[in-house]
Structure 1
Amino acid sequence: MNKPMIGFIGTGVMGKSMARNLMQAGYPLSLFTRTKEKAVELIEDGARWCEDIPSLAAASDIIITIVGYPKDVEEVYFGENGLLHNAGPASTVIDMTTSSPDLAKTIANKAKEKDIHAFDAPVSGGDVGARNGKLTIMVGGEADAFESIKPVFEAMGENIVLQGEAGAGQHTKMSNQIAIASGMMGVTEAILYAEKAGLNPKTVLKSIEFGAAGSWSLSNLGPRMIDGNFDPGFYVKHFIKDMQIAIESAEKLDIPVPGLKLAKQLYDQLAEAGGENNGTQALYKYYELIKAEA
């Protein structure tokens, strides 16, 4: 049985690996991205390049997007050159960008008017999870259509959960980012404390990552902090975007999030100091700066 043609928009740190895993799973892939150079490796591996969104939409059964910001999502989906105007009836669009729950609902409602299935499916797991095909994928959308596209998700991730209707995937990702935000402060402070106490922080990690303090951030980003590796697995600027969406969503739900707001404040200051294109583990550099100024 032939696999559906997948159109893919967005080949950044996460998207490139996700697209490659789809190809390795046997899915034919068409690509569009604003900067063609970012897609060259995938094209050389057999992906088909499309010159614009309408041509990609016309050639695809399932279209996956993972772009930077909600405004980029709007640009890709709406208007005469957008996906919803150009995708065929019974096709499926899946936005895997971390974006606004309200925007996800708007996309789903407009897609339904055109007999297009729409899912919001943000991911967690960073560059490592994307590369290894082990992402957590949080899905919002129609339960009836979910099972038919689940194999597509399984080519990119392992923990795939339908959370509810449109917007539920994004709300789940907000919960994820809220947990990470305060957690990153804890990881950074724990490593700095170990260093200041004269301990080998890598040895400390061997103890605490398997106890009650254990977390993905501690195990995967803690070692990068210690090694001074601040390359992006997930950009500071995108994390700030996520935290802002989470704060706005929490305010609509009348939920206090002081830990989230403090984390965003620290990351804002890190970005202002030139760290916006570092990975989120670069929060360590900001604490070092505070220590130097004290």
Structure 2
Amino acid sequence: MSKTIAFVGVGRMGANMARRLKDCGYSITAVYDSHRPIATALADELGCSAPEKLADVAAAADIIFTVVTNDESMRSIFFGPGDNLLKEPTGKTFINCATVSPGIHREVYEAAKNAGAHSLEASMASSISHAREGKLYLMMAGDESVYNDVLPVLEQMSVNRRFIGGPGRAAEVKALVNMVMNINTAGLAEGLGLAAALGHDLDMVREVFSQTGANSRVLETDSADMVAREHDCWFSAEHAAKDSGIAGSMAEGVGLNLPLNLATIAQYKKMVSLGLGGLDKSGIAELTFKGRHA
């Protein structure tokens, strides 16, 4: 446990990842967030620093986890003028956990390599509670030797991992995961919405779905919330629109038409336009049940 660790982006996922590694005996030396009060509060909790400069975060640790929201944020922390993580990164390892485009992961990988550092993708397919409990599922990409070097840290954070390949490859697979998940969520919302409109008991319909070809992981995680209109956010509609959009851009790049994905993107963008983007993805049911927002 000799490697020191820092975090950039300490919202609910990043903060709980930091707490988990602290509990496992790792030295968390610095945390940073664009919303500074979040960083200072977590720094007080963990007993570490909260530098105002990204360069100081990189200087404070051997391994720097980044958990940011989109390509623009990723580009800012690594390539921002005046201050960024690549000022003096020699020997550092960056583990980038955000769901962003494969292209930005490749840009960061090449820039880090040219600066004498390492960059890995650690795409996550898990919830906030999994981050706190060390039960993440991680899709990894980059240099396999670097992955093996940091594996002891990753093992404390996750119940399973899959090394997928070179830079950008884990981001591609994560986009596919979220694309299929979002399509399934939209389909489930339409099925339950139609069942409700036909006057069926929705508990019965959900039980029948669970025993037939209509079964899915989102039936387990989202169906009760759709019926009860409880959409506390674990994975927001805004993020669903973004992530399915990443998959759409990938499809365009290889000349594929994905009509189900395009329809799903349109639904989640409609949620955003109605001011519902902060709801959990289960909130897509607000567009399919009669008498709601549709």
TM-score by length of 2: 0.91
C-alpha displacement of 1:174: 1.2
Deviates more, 1:193-202 or 1:243-252: 193-202
Q: Is the 8 A contact 2:141 2:163 kept in 1?
A: yes
Mapping 1:275-286, distance limit 5 Å? 275-286=276-287
Quickly say closer, same or farther: Cα 1:231–1:47, change in 2 above 3 A. farther
2:45 paired residue number: 45
Separation of aligned partners in 2, 1:257 and 1:129: 31
1:119 partnered with 2:120: yes
Deviates more, 1:261-270 or 1:189-198: 189-198
Separation of aligned partners in 2, 1:135 and 1:216: 16
1:61 partnered with 2:58: no
Separation of aligned partners in 1, 2:126 and 2:200: 29
Letter of the aligned partner of 1:34 in structure 2?
A: S
1:17 paired residue number: 16
Secondary structure of 1:224 counterpart: helix
2:107 paired residue number: 106
Q: Is the 8 A contact 1:140 1:169 kept in 2?
A: yes
2:32 paired residue number: 32
1:191 paired residue number: 192
Q: CA RMSD in A?
A: 2.1
C-alpha displacement of 1:138: 1.1
Separation of aligned partners in 2, 1:234 and 1:187: 16
C-alpha displacement of 1:200: 4.1
Letter of the aligned partner of 1:249 in structure 2?
A: M
Deviates more, 1:65-74 or 1:121-130: 121-130
Deviates more, 1:233-242 or 1:93-102: 233-242
Letter of the aligned partner of 1:38 in structure 2?
A: I
Deviates more, 1:158-167 or 1:132-141: 132-141
Deviations 1:142-180 (A, max 9, x none): 011111212222232222111000101101111112211
Deviations 1:192-237 (A, max 9, x none): 2443454443454345336543333221122222232111101221
Secondary structure of 2:2 counterpart: coil
Secondary structure of 2:130 counterpart: helix
Structure 2 residue runs of 5 or longer lacking an equivalent are none
C-alpha displacement of 1:25: 1.7
Q: Is the 8 A contact 1:10 1:66 kept in 2?
A: yes
C-alpha displacement of 1:123: 1.0
Separation of aligned partners in 1, 2:24 and 2:188: 36
C-alpha displacement of 1:71: 0.2
C-alpha displacement of 1:259: 0.7
1:222 paired residue number: 223
Letter of the aligned partner of 1:243 in structure 2?
A: S
Deviates more, 1:268-277 or 1:9-18: 9-18
Letter of the aligned partner of 1:252 in structure 2?
A: G
Separation of aligned partners in 1, 2:91 and 2:68: 23
1:85 to 84, 87, 90: 87
Secondary structure of 1:83 counterpart: coil
Separation of aligned partners in 2, 1:233 and 1:292: 21
TM-score by length of 1: 0.91
Separation of aligned partners in 1, 2:254 and 2:60: 40
Secondary structure of 2:218 counterpart: helix
Secondary structure of 1:26 counterpart: coil
Structure 1 residue runs of 5 or longer lacking an equivalent are none
Separation of aligned partners in 2, 1:250 and 1:85: 35
Q: Is the 8 A contact 1:64 1:96 kept in 2?
A: yes
Quickly say closer, same or farther: Cα 1:268–1:46, change in 2 above 3 A. same
Deviations 1:57-91 (A, max 9, x none): 1011001111111000000011441112232x221
Task: Quote the sequence identity (%).
Answer: 25
Secondary structure of 1:60 counterpart: coil
Q: Is the 8 A contact 1:78 1:85 kept in 2?
A: no
Secondary structure of 1:137 counterpart: strand
Matched length? 291
C-alpha displacement of 1:24: 1.6
Q: Is the 8 A contact 1:13 1:234 kept in 2?
A: no
